[in-house]
Amino acid sequence: MATLGCRVNQYETEAMAEKFIEKEYELVNFEEYADVYVINTCTVTNMGDKKSRQMIHRAKRKNSSAVIAVVGCYSQIAPDEVSKINGVDVVLGTKNKGDILHFVNKAFKDEEKIIKVSHVLKNKTFEDLNISEYQNRTRAFLKIQDGCNRFCSYCLIPFARGPVCSKEPDKIIKEVKKLQVNNFKEIILSGIHIASYGVDISGSWNLIKILEEIDKIKGIDRVRIGSIDPKFFTEDIINRMASLTKLCPHFHLSLQSGCDSTLNRMNRKYTTTEYEKIVYKLRDSIKDVSITTDIIVGFPGETEEEFYKTYDFLNKIELSKIHVFKYSRREGTKAADMKEQIDGKIKDERSSKIIKLNERLENKFMNRFLGNNMDVLYEQKVSGDKIYYEGYTPNYIKVIAESAEGENLEGKVLNTKLESVKEGYILGRIKSFM
């Protein structure tokens, strides 16, 4: 199975994998020979579509007789295009993933192409994909919300995922308790627009109330939330978050542009002044908080002056990490029809400048914590001459540390001294090994 795109896709792939394992299929690496290949696609950018097609071709080369199932956002947006790719046997959109095994078995039996893509814009029901055995043993993604009602002018996701749908609160709590029984240290609440959680269900449920309920569950050490709309953070919500004991002090606040004119064309619902106030309030209220973001460069009509407003704004507020994306024109969005599309070379130049700024700001943030002892959840071994493991602090600093005598550190939370900043991480020394 191959997954492209967001954490929601990762969760859904895990759920689909379990369906196969329950029926005694053996899960193998996507690069190996297999009878079935499942590709969970992304369509946020043209590159996402391209990578999805590449994965299909790769599977076909591995085993020309295999059943290839293509699911997810790219399939939802362009089912006819996907179905015409040589080797594709099953096409599912962003719904019906829970029935993946049924459709794969049907394709084996009938030897006919299956296309099952529903009209998600009319969808009002959360597709509950429960997971009982997680393949990743250190932290688990938990999808609590799907869909988006925002319709940013550059984005196809509302058309791929449909309107907001929320997982019932009691089911969330039940699944978190199941994770605790299975000894997970960290869970990550994810969604397409997670700040909208609860708007479609009765009662007073919202994201902060879910976080407060999870905070009461013993045995879970850490809770994270996925990328979130900055407008979610009212003063009341920030104050309530500050009192939580399990919530990690790391928030990925979508910005996209540091220029109000560009934000307006993007149909984002906030200004740079509002965003800045939220950043400073989070810093004032939550110790050691890390705030990361996404930036799109080269949005239609972005002048040199507008770009430098974004650059200067980022330089001013000093976020801990900036993910940079070059605007990708997506047919079917309002931005695709906007005049003054930006030349690719200009996008490259602007992207390079933000990347260099990010390197400086990221290093500055990490340097603040040198000499400190912080708990690190170690996730996986790193290749090298010695045995090293990598993991993350609560505020999402990547740490790599040597394991004494080859001890397996996967899934362990260990107090670690942060000793030196490297490229994109800190080299640490585990206190119990000193």
Name the least confident of 106-110, 126-130, 287-291, 417-421. Answer: 126-130
pLDDT score recorded for residue 384? 72
pLDDT score recorded for residue 385? 74
Do the domain assignments include residue 103? yes
Do the domain assignments include residue 225? no
Do the domain assignments include residue 317? no
pLDDT score recorded for residue 128? 84
For the stretch 36-90, pLDDT in tens is 999 999 998 888 899 999 999 999 999 999 999 999 999 999 999 999 999 999 9
Number of domains in the chain: 2
What is the C-alpha to C-alpha distance for residues 227 and 327, in angstroms, rounded to an integer? Answer: 19
Do the domain assignments include residue 348? no
| Domain end residue (candidates: 118, 146, 181) | 118
Under DSSP, the state recorded for 253 is: B
Contact 278, 230 (CB under 8 A): yes
Tell me which residue range forms the domain holding 85.
Answer: 2-118
Contact 269, 257 (CB under 8 A): no
Do the domain assignments include residue 82? yes
For the stretch 123-161, pLDDT in tens is 888 888 877 666 556 788 899 999 999 999 999 999 999
Task: Give Cα 92 to chain centroid, integer Å.
Answer: 21
Banded pLDDT at 173 (limits 50, 70, 90): very high
Contact 180, 220 (CB under 8 A): yes
Q: How many CB atoms lie within 10 A of CB 324?
A: 17
Contact 392, 250 (CB under 8 A): no
Read off the CATH number of the domain in which 52 is found.
3.40.50.280
Read off the CATH number of the domain in which 412 is found.
2.40.50
Banded pLDDT at 273 (limits 50, 70, 90): very high
| Domain end residue (candidates: 71, 96, 118) | 118
For the stretch 338-390, pLDDT in tens is 999 999 999 999 999 999 999 999 999 999 999 999 999 999 999 777 899 99
Query: Whose structure tokens read 């407003």?
Result: 309
| Domain end residue (candidates: 95, 118, 141) | 118
Do the domain assignments include residue 153? no
Do the domain assignments include residue 299? no
The half-sphere exposure of 364 on its side-chain side, counting CA atoms within 13 A, is: 13
Do the domain assignments include residue 94? yes
For the stretch 232-249, pLDDT in tens is 999 999 999 999 999 999
Q: What is the mean pLDDT of the chain?
A: 93
